[in-house]
Amino acid sequence: MQLHCLNAEDVGSALRNQLDNKGYIYLKQVLPEEDVLKAKVADITPLHFLEYLQHLNDTGVITKQIFSSSYIDGILSDSCDIGSIPSLEGSNPITNHPAMLHVIENPYLYDIFTSIFHGIHPVTFDYKWLRTMYHGGNTGCHMDRVYMNRGSSELLTCWIPLDNIALDMSVLAILEGSHRMDRSENDIYTKLQHTYADMDVERDKLQGTGWFTEDPMEFYHLNEACQSCDSHPVWKTTGDF
């Protein structure tokens, strides 16, 4: 979506319409690329973070091979699975580093979300979900609201790649239209909205990951069962845009 040459009111209306219709907004070239790349190689530790991880590998603190090539590329190897490196999530020196905050709390993003929320200036969590994923790994199918909403419907999540991500490196998968509430009570996705989507990871004391499923084929079969619907959801990835 091209936002330049539109005033704030038009931008907000266009974004809200896309959010209502599709359940997400895909934006390109909103953040300056140089700011994003600075966050990737910022001096977050005595050595920058990627070099720090390589140092842990070289000194035997982490025994599994972390990177598939040079640490500068930042591509985790197949053997570097979940738990192999320190978690980056939360409020910590990495997520709170000025270079990182300049990306994930960028003024351009605040302007966009202010337009979406009818001029109300948004706030963001101190806790940041900064994430790495090893080659061949994935995050299971889930809804962010299960982890974040805390009873509010006025919450949006924003996913930002910290590099130019090629299709063979990773994609973000989205079930377009799965947010809609205008389906019949017997519809599979209506039932999903009234069950899993209504859960709260802390209130309901969810065990494990909190994902709906670790098997993406489970959602595929949901879609198969819903093919007769006029508005059945469609899988989209960032490789489609």
**Residue 23, burial from CB neighbour count under 10 angstroms (0-12, 13-18, 19+):** middle
Averaged pLDDT for residues 53-77: 75
Q: Please say whether the beta carbons of 229 and 182 come within 8 A.
A: no
Is 157 part of a structural domain of the chain?
no
Is 229 part of a structural domain of the chain?
no
**115 CB neighbour count, 10 Å cutoff:** 22
Q: Is 0.95 topped by the overall pTM? A: no
CA gap 84, 6 in Å, rounded: 46
Cα angle, residue 36 at apex, residues 31 and 38 outer, rounded to 5°: 140
Least confident of 53-67, 73-87, 108-122, 145-159: 73-87
Greater confidence (86 vs 117) lies with: 117
Is 220 part of a structural domain of the chain?
no
Domain count, the chain: 1
Tokens of 166: 């090629």
Is 239 part of a structural domain of the chain?
no
Is 158 part of a structural domain of the chain?
no
Indicate if the pLDDT at residue 4 is higher than 60.
Answer: no
CA gap 80, 65 in Å, rounded: 6
pLDDT cut 90: percent of the chain above it: 12
Please give the mean pLDDT across all residues of the chain. Answer: 79
Q: What is the pLDDT of residues 174-219, one digit of tens each?
A: 888 888 877 788 777 788 888 888 888 888 888 888 888 877 777 6
Structural domain of 100: 1-137
pLDDT of 218: 76
Is 123 part of a structural domain of the chain?
yes
Q: How confident is the model at residue 1 (pLDDT cuts 50, 70, 90)?
A: very low
Indicate if the pLDDT at residue 158 is higher than 70.
Answer: yes
Is 161 part of a structural domain of the chain?
no
Long-range contacts of 195-202 (CB under 8 A, 24+ apart): 196/143, 196/146, 197/143, 197/145, 197/146, 199/146, 200/146, 200/149, 200/150, 200/151, 201/146, 201/147
pLDDT of 229: 57
Q: What is the pLDDT of residues 53-62, one digit of tens each?
A: 777 788 877 7
Is 115 part of a structural domain of the chain?
yes
Q: What is the pLDDT of residues 89-124, one digit of tens each?
A: 888 878 888 888 999 999 999 999 999 988 899 999
